[in-house]
Amino acid sequence: MPNAQINITPKRSVAFFAFLSIFMVGVSYLLLLLLAVACIYLPYLLLLNTQTLQMQVILLFLGGIAVAGTMLWSLLPRRDKFDPPGPLLDRSTQPKLFREIDKIAGALNEQVPCEVYLVGQPNAFVTDRGGTLGFGSRRVMGIGLPLFFILNVSELRAVLAHEFAHFYSGDTSLGPWLYRARTVLIRSFQNMANLQEIGHIHILRLLFTLVAVVIKRYLIFFLGVTNFVSRKQEHRSDELACLIAGKQPAIHGLKKIHGAALFWPVYWEGEVAPIIGRNCIPDIGEGFRRFLAAPSIAEFVNASIAEEPRSAQTSPLDTHPPLADRIAAMEQLQAQDPQPDELQASSLFDQPQSAELLFVEKMNQQIPKSTLRHVAWDEVGTLVTIPFWRSEVAKFGSLLLGKKAVSLPDLLKQLPQIGSRLPDPKGTLLTPKERTDRATHLLGMAVSLMLLEKGWKLYTQPAVFHFRRAEETLDAFGLVNDLVAGKLSPEDWVQKCSELGIAEDTLGDLKPQTIPVSSA
């Protein structure tokens, strides 16, 4: 564990890349100023050397003034507005986490960030935000909620050390200048495109197009150079992370983050968001850990990491080196691994459930505070999923026309009409296909409730969802989807209904709730 400042060998390359970044920023502003001057001065020379005034020359001069004005407008500094990316973590309520941050800051003799936020991605970041062109800015850190549940303490320490290394190397001090220059170039190019649209006179369109092409070419060159510098900065930060937290924790943490980044959006949209939409909140981080541990997901993640060395290629516009390159560089470092702390990083949190609730309420301002009911993943089926099915079937079961399960194939042609009678979610206008998919899902819910009445038990966990009876498992929604897609014939459906004992049961006919459920 880092307790004192470490000895770091200075590298001339760090200063060189910093100089290169500053040089590119200076060239950017100089280029735009020269373009602005040229667009006025060259047409002005034509006016002076023309015996008789020509309309095209006058228009060119006026167009040059428009270009110069656009350039100067694009160059005007804007105050940096920082929108908090998540809830602000407080030192008084999370003392263990801040002690860890303090130790890493001390190892690099760096100031602790003014603000530390809990963010909703499996990643971390640092930046200098606020002020103008970096002046009057403050240090900000963001730590991803998923990291506390997929990493151990040593691995999270390596991630935070990597981010502090960006402070140490001055990367974040250069960041506002690079961001500003990139923004100015992009804004200038977009404004030139707008001038092209309103400039219907040929000579003006030619001028605007020429200037836009010059800016675009330089912007591509600027991004290529500055992103090359960014990739070098990432390697340097990896090196310092290994010196502070150890080589193996840094490598293992990087691999875990790579896999988590692939599936966090899928997990959130497919597992968490529907539960929150029903006024409940599960253990988000613990659920993500279980999600990644599910055999089908774990297999995909491992395969993705294994194939990375063969598939990764660096693009000039990439801000980070490929995973394989970063791992290979770290493996070559002469860095000792301290005694690992293999406790889950969530142990640094006081009351993880409270932090998760704070995060959800911050990111969903429309949810009234203290209205979400906590449910464990083992209770989701009982308390959330099945009650939702019963509610939906109770409201819309009449649309199924009282058909028996064995007659479900007869309803397939009516799915578009059934879907059109289901109200769209608030604030959303669904397409005809999406409405048909909702009707198909309604059929799946009705069939699922039938199965529960026949003694099947619902087994639901992150990335796992099926029915069980004795040693047999069943995917009810998959069966309905296969029937709708034509992968399951009507004859096979009838036979399946008979085997399941639901052939004569009526779709949408709800019995009193005596449904056995298993979530574990």
pLDDT along the chain (520 residues), means of 10: 62 82 92 90 80 73 85 79 88 94 93 94 89 71 96 96 92 83 89 74 79 91 92 93 93 94 94 93 96 91 75 73 91 85 93 91 86 94 94 89 88 91 86 93 94 93 92 93 94 94 86 52
Classified as helix, coil or strand, 142 is: strand
pTM > 0.95? no
> What is the number of other CB atoms lying within 10 angstroms of the CB of residue 350?
13
In the chain, the N- to C-terminal Cα span, in Å, equals 38
Beta bridge partners of 124: 143
The reported pLDDT for the residue numbered 155 is: 97
Beta bridge partners of 468: 457, 473
Instruction: Kindly give, in sequence order, each residue whose CB lies less than 8 Å from that of residue 229, ignoring residues fewer than 6 positions away.
Output: 17, 20, 21
Give residue 115's region: left, alpha or beta (phi > 0; psi -120 to 50): beta
Q: Judge whether 357 and 281 are in contact, CB under 8 Å.
A: yes
Which amino acid, residue 406? V
Q: Using CA atoms, how far apart are residues 482 and 346, in angstroms rounded to an integer?
A: 41
Q: Encoding tokens for residue 108?
A: 């690099």
The reported pLDDT for the residue numbered 294 is: 92
The reported pLDDT for the residue numbered 74 is: 84
- Residue 334 burial (CB < 10 Å; 0-12/13-18/19+)? exposed
- Residue 420 burial (CB < 10 Å; 0-12/13-18/19+)? middle
Distances (CA, A) of 111 to 104, 108, 139, 323: 10, 9, 9, 29
Which amino acid, residue 473? T
Q: Judge whether 4 and 244 are in contact, CB under 8 Å.
A: no
Q: Encoding tokens for residue 24?
A: 């590119």
The reported pLDDT for the residue numbered 4 is: 59
The reported pLDDT for the residue numbered 458 is: 95
Residues 317, 323, 324: CA angle, nearest 5 degrees: 115
- Which residue pairs, CB below 8 angstroms and at least 24 apart, start in 8-14? 8/108, 8/168, 8/240, 8/243, 11/236, 13/232, 13/236, 14/169, 14/170, 14/236
**Torsion angle of alpha carbons 104, 107, 112, 113, nearest 10°?**
-60
Q: Nearest-CA neighbor of 277 among 428, 398, 146? A: 428
Q: Using CA atoms, how far apart are residues 508 and 496, in angstroms rounded to an integer?
A: 19
Classified as helix, coil or strand, 143 is: strand
Distances (CA, A) of 439 to 326, 410, 411, 445: 48, 14, 10, 10
- Which residue pairs, CB below 8 angstroms and at least 24 apart, start in 17-25? 17/229, 17/232, 17/233, 18/169, 18/170, 18/174, 20/225, 20/229, 21/174, 21/177, 21/178, 21/226, 21/229, 22/174, 22/177, 24/178, 24/181, 24/222, 24/225, 24/226, 25/177, 25/178, 25/180, 25/181
Entry field: residues in the chain: 520
Chain CA centroid to CA 279, Å: 23
Which amino acid, residue 270? G
> What is the number of other CB atoms lying within 10 angstroms of the CB of residue 355?
22
Q: Encoding tokens for residue 299?
A: 């297999």
Q: Nearest-CA neighbor of 258 among 292, 294, 210? A: 292
Q: Nearest-CA neighbor of 380 among 448, 433, 299, 458? A: 458
Token pair 């564990």: residue: 1
Q: Using CA atoms, how far apart are residues 87 and 444, in angstroms rounded to an integer?
A: 38
